[in-house]
Amino acid sequence: MLSYAPVAPLSLHSIAKSGTVSLVRHCSTLTAASNSNRRFPLRSVLEARASTLPTQSPAPHARSAIHRSLPGFINGSGSRFAAVSSHEKLEDEFELHKELFDELGIKKENSGVCNGEWGGSGPVIYSMNPSTGKILASITTASKADVDSAIDAARKAQHLWRSVPTPVRGHIVREIGEALREKKLALAKLISLEVGKILAEAEGEVQEFIDMTDIALGLSRSMPGQVLPSERSKHLILEQWHPLGCVGVITAFNFPHAVYGWNSSLAFVCGNSVVWKPALSTSLVALATTKIVHSVLERNNYPTSLAALLCGAGEVGEAVSKDRRVDLVSFTGSTAIGRKVGVWAQERFGRVLLELGGNNACIVMDDANIELAVRGILFSAVGTSGQRCTTTRRLFVQQGVYDIFMEHLTHAYKQVRIGNPLDKGTIYGPLHNHSAVSRFQKTMEEIKRAGGAILHGGKVVDGPGLFVQPTIVRMDPTAEIVQRETFAPILYAAKFKDLSEAIQLNNAVPQGLSSSIFTSDVRALFEFIGPNGSDCGIVNVNVPTSGAEVGAAFGGEKETGGGREAGSDAWKQYCRRSTTTINFGDDLPLAQGIAFHHSPPTSAFDAASASGEVDKLGYAVGGGGEDVVKGGITKAASGGVGGSAGTV
C-alpha cells in the first residue's frame, strides 16, 4: 500500500492584467490576458514591466519578480517558472524552518550574487518546497552587470591563487571538507526541502562533496607530470600541468550540491577560480554551500571571489558560456541545452565539459540473482523519484525469468512509501516542479496511445504536492518514446532472447551514460564490459545504473556529452598541459635528423667538413662529401635517424 503524507496545494495562475508579478514554478512562457489570447515569451513582459511596477515597495510576498528567461533555455535544471498575480498571497514556511536556515545563513530575503561581496541587481525569485508548495525564501538574482563583475573578480582572484603551492591549496580544500562535515545534516535537510529528495539521499549527496575534497587533498601531494626521453643527447622532455584559469560551473536541480563539489574541489586544487551558476530552483542550496566555502577562504585570508556565485535564469548561464574569460564551462543538464552550451564555448575556443541526458538500461539474465537484481533496480528506478541522470529507465529481462522477475519487482514497487522526504521511512518524494508532473502525465498518455501496458502506477497522486506514482510499463523497446529520456519515474520493461539482443537494445538509444547487467555467467560479464558490449561511459555488473562512487570518472558517451567529472584523471580537464624540452648540454642538435647551417666564419668548420667530423657547434656534415646541402639544410645520406650522431 502506498502511504502518503498530506501537504498543502500549490496552484499556478496566469499573470494578472494589472499590478506586479511574482514567481512560482514552472513555465517559460506566459499566457497574455488579451483578446487574441496569444502566447509570448517572458522577455516581452520585461520590456513592459516599468509601466506596471508600483511606486512603493510591495510586501515581501508581492514583490516584483519577473523570471527573465531565454525562451527554451532551462538553465541546466529542467525547472521553469510561471508568474502569478501579485494579489495572490502565497503561503510561506520560512518560520517553520528558521532554526535550520539560521544555521546555514539563509534569510527570508537573500542576495543571490557574490563577486567578493554579496549583492544582485536582477529579478527577485522565490524558492519553493515541492512537497508543500509553499515559499521557503526569496533570492535576488544576477543581472548582466553582475555576471560581468563576478567573472572579472574571479579572474583577478585566480591570478593570486595559481601561485599558491598546490599542497597548500589542497589544505584549503581539506578545510572546506571539514566545514561541510560540520553542516552535513543541515545541508541535507535543505536539499530535501528545496529539491524534494529523501533525507538519506540528500546526506549522501553532501558526502559526495566531502569525499571529493579528500580526493583533491590527495591530488595536491601527488599531481603527476611526466619525464620523457629525448632522441637528442643531453636533452630532457617534461610534461607539466598548470592552472587553467576561470571555471564556469552550471549545475542542475537534481544534484545541486554534489556536482558543484565534483567540479569545485578539483578546480580549486588545480589552481583555478570558479563561477557557479546553479539551477534557479535550487538557489538556497547554492547560497548555503557558497557561504560555507567562503567561511574557509576568509579564515585563511583568501578572496571569496575565488568562489563566485551567480543565481539566475537561463540568460545568466548563456552569458557565462559565451564569456571568453571563462576558460572551461562545465554544464550538467539536458542534451538540448548542452548542444547550445557546447557551441557557445567552442565558438570562442573555450573548453567544455558536458554531462547530459541518460537513458539507462539494466539487463537481467536467466542466471541472475533475482533478489539482488530486484533490490538494485528498485533503487535505481525509484531513487530521487526517477530524477537522476543515472536513473534506470529501461529494463530488459531474459525471457526465461521475465514473468517471475516482473512479479517480484511489481511487488517491491507496491511497498514504496511516498511522502515528505524529511520523514523517516519515506523512500520516494515529490517531483521537483510542475513541468515534471506535466511531462509525466503527457508521457503516460503517449504510452497508452502506443499500446503500452501499465503494470504499476501511472497516475498523479491525489492531493496536494507534486507527487506521482512510480511506474512500470511493458513496452516495445524499439518504440520511439522509449528512445527518449523522460525525466520521471517511468520504467519501460521488455523481454529478450539472448545476450546479443540485449546488448543491441542497450546500445540502440542516442544516450550513453550508464548501463548494468545482472548475471552469474563470467562469459556474459566480460562480453558486456568488453569492446562488443555496452557503449556507455558507465558499465556495471550486478550493480544498478545509479549510485556511482566519486573515486572513478563519471560521465558518458554519445548524446550524454563525453565529459568526465569526479575521480580518476578527470582533474586534467581543469589544467593546461605544458610540454617543455630542456637542453643541458653545449651543443644544439635538432630533432628528426635536421641540421641547419649558418656557415660560421671560421676555418675550423671547413676542416671538420673535409674530415667528415662534427664541429664544436654541433653541425652535422656526414663525411666523404655525401651530404646534400640545399638552402642551408643538410640531410645525411646514411646513418640512421639523422646520419651521424650530431644530426639528431
pLDDT tens digits, one per residue of 505-540: 999 999 999 999 999 999 999 999 999 999 999 999
439 part of a folded domain: yes
Q: Is the pLDDT of residue 10 over 60?
A: no
Residue 265 DSSP label: H
Q: What is the pLDDT of residues 278-329, one digit of tens each?
A: 999 999 999 999 999 999 999 999 999 999 999 999 999 999 999 999 999 9
The pLDDT, as a whole number, for residue 613 is 55
596 part of a folded domain: no
Q: Which residue has the higher pLDDT, 201 or 70?
A: 201
* One-letter-per-residue 3-state SS of 215-250: HHHHHHHHCCCEEECCCCCCEEEEEEEEECCEEEEE
Cα separation of 203 and 197, whole Å? 10
DSSP annotation string for 511-539: EESEEEEE-S-HHHHHHHHSTTS--SSEE
User: Taken in order 519, 524, 526, 527, is the CA torsion positive or negative?
Assistant: negative
On whether both 123 and 208 belong to a single domain, the answer is: yes
Domain containing 531 — which CATH number? 3.40.309.10
pLDDT band, very low/low/confident/very high, at 565 (cuts 50, 70, 90): very high
DSSP annotation string for 15-45: PPSSS-EEEEEEESEEE--STT--EEEHHHH
Q: What is the pLDDT of residues 424-444, one digit of tens each?
A: 999 999 999 999 999 999 999
Q: Is the pLDDT of residue 34 over 70?
A: no
- From residue 152, how far is each of 199, 246, 263, 342, 595 by CA, in Å? 37, 10, 20, 22, 48
Cα separation of 311 and 107, whole Å? 15
The pLDDT, as a whole number, for residue 595 is 83
pLDDT, averaged across the chain: 84
**Number of domains, the chain:** 2
Q: Is the pLDDT of residue 601 over 90?
A: no
On whether both 290 and 410 belong to a single domain, the answer is: no
pLDDT band, very low/low/confident/very high, at 593 (cuts 50, 70, 90): confident
Backbone angles phi, psi at 192, to 5 degrees: -60, -40
Give which of 580, 591, 579, 578 is closest to 233, Cα–Cα. Answer: 591
Residue 276 DSSP label: E
610 part of a folded domain: no
Q: Which three cell numbers stand for residue 571?
A: 582533474
302 part of a folded domain: yes
Q: Which three cell numbers stand for residue 414?
A: 507496491
Cα separation of 317 and 347, whole Å? 16
On whether both 347 and 466 belong to a single domain, the answer is: no
62 part of a folded domain: no
On whether both 369 and 347 belong to a single domain, the answer is: no
Residue 304 domain boundaries: 93-356+573-578
Residue 329 DSSP label: E
Q: Which residue has the higher pLDDT, 597 or 480?
A: 480
Domain containing 157 — which CATH number? 3.40.605.10
Q: Is 144 left (phi over 0), alpha (psi -120 to 50) or beta?
A: alpha
429 part of a folded domain: yes
On whether both 290 and 388 belong to a single domain, the answer is: no
Burial tier of 227 (Cβ tally within 10 Å: 0-12, 13-18, 19+):
exposed
Q: What is the pLDDT of residues 347-397, one digit of tens each?
A: 999 999 999 999 999 999 999 999 999 999 999 999 999 999 999 999 999
Q: Is the pLDDT of residue 479 over 90?
A: yes
On whether both 433 and 513 belong to a single domain, the answer is: yes
The pLDDT, as a whole number, for residue 91 is 83
Residues marked as catalytic: 355
478 part of a folded domain: yes
On whether both 297 and 224 belong to a single domain, the answer is: yes
On whether both 339 and 422 belong to a single domain, the answer is: no
On whether both 325 and 414 belong to a single domain, the answer is: no
On whether both 393 and 289 belong to a single domain, the answer is: no
Give which of 328, 360, 349 is closest to 514, Cα–Cα. Answer: 360
Q: What is the pLDDT of residues 94-138, one digit of tens each?
A: 999 999 999 999 999 999 999 999 999 999 999 999 999 999 999
Q: Is 385 left (phi over 0), alpha (psi -120 to 50) or beta?
A: left
Cα separation of 45 and 123, whole Å? 12
Q: What is the pLDDT of residues 215-234, one digit of tens each?
A: 999 999 999 999 999 999 99
On whether both 255 and 278 belong to a single domain, the answer is: yes
The pLDDT, as a whole number, for residue 56 is 31
Residue 50 DSSP label: G
Q: Is 264 left (phi over 0), alpha (psi -120 to 50) or beta?
A: alpha
The pLDDT, as a whole number, for residue 59 is 33
Residues 254, 389 contacting (CB under 8 angstroms): yes
Q: Which residue has the higher pLDDT, 605 or 187?
A: 187
- Cell 643527447 belongs to residue: 233
User: Strands (DSSP E) along 203-349, which ranges?
Assistant: 226-228, 235-243, 246-250, 273-277, 307-310, 328-332
Residues 464, 337 contacting (CB under 8 angstroms): no
Beta pairing partners, 418: 428
**How many percent of the chain have pLDDT more than 70?**
78
The pLDDT, as a whole number, for residue 45 is 27
Q: 62-76, 116-130, 151-165, 340-354: which has the minimum mean pLDDT?
A: 62-76
Q: Is the pLDDT of residue 454 over 80?
A: yes
Residue 255 DSSP label: S
pLDDT band, very low/low/confident/very high, at 183 (cuts 50, 70, 90): very high
591 part of a folded domain: no
Give which of 350, 347, 348 is closest to 331, Cα–Cα. Answer: 350
On whether both 340 and 412 belong to a single domain, the answer is: no
